[in-house]
Structure 1
Amino acid sequence: MSTVVDVASSGDEDDEKRRDPFAESAIEIDDETLRRVSPAAWAGRVTDRIDDIGRRLIYGR
């Protein structure tokens, strides 16, 4: 993100302050919470469970 902002910046100091993603407060989420609420994390866990069931059915483990 910061690289894109640097490239897109016109070089004007006021313009840079407006576009700086780190200039203002940001919402930060710790890793554990992100894993709990992220759709990608949910899908990954579901996929792992389905794979595990498939392995048990195929290999009898």
Structure 2
Amino acid sequence: MATDQQRAWNSGGRTPPGHKPSKVTPAQRDEICRRLAANESPQALAAEYGVSVHTIYRYR
């Protein structure tokens, strides 16, 4: 899977047409992964970051 840096390089730093920018920054993603590893609730994290539970589960 490509990293955010690779995606930015490939797209010239622009969000590709038809795609929304991510609501979660790479730093927030790292924090979510750390908190999931500490057994925090995906539902609580989703509510805190304003994203769906499905988004949180993708970061596992």
Task: Please confirm whether the aligned pair reaches a TM-score higher than 0.5, indicating the same fold.
Answer: no
- Bin of the TM-score, shorter chain as denominator length: under 0.3
Q: What TM-score, normalized by structure 2, do the two folds share?
A: 0.28
Q: What TM-score, normalized by structure 1, do the two folds share?
A: 0.27
Higher RCO by CA contacts (8 Å cutoff, separation 6 or greater): 2
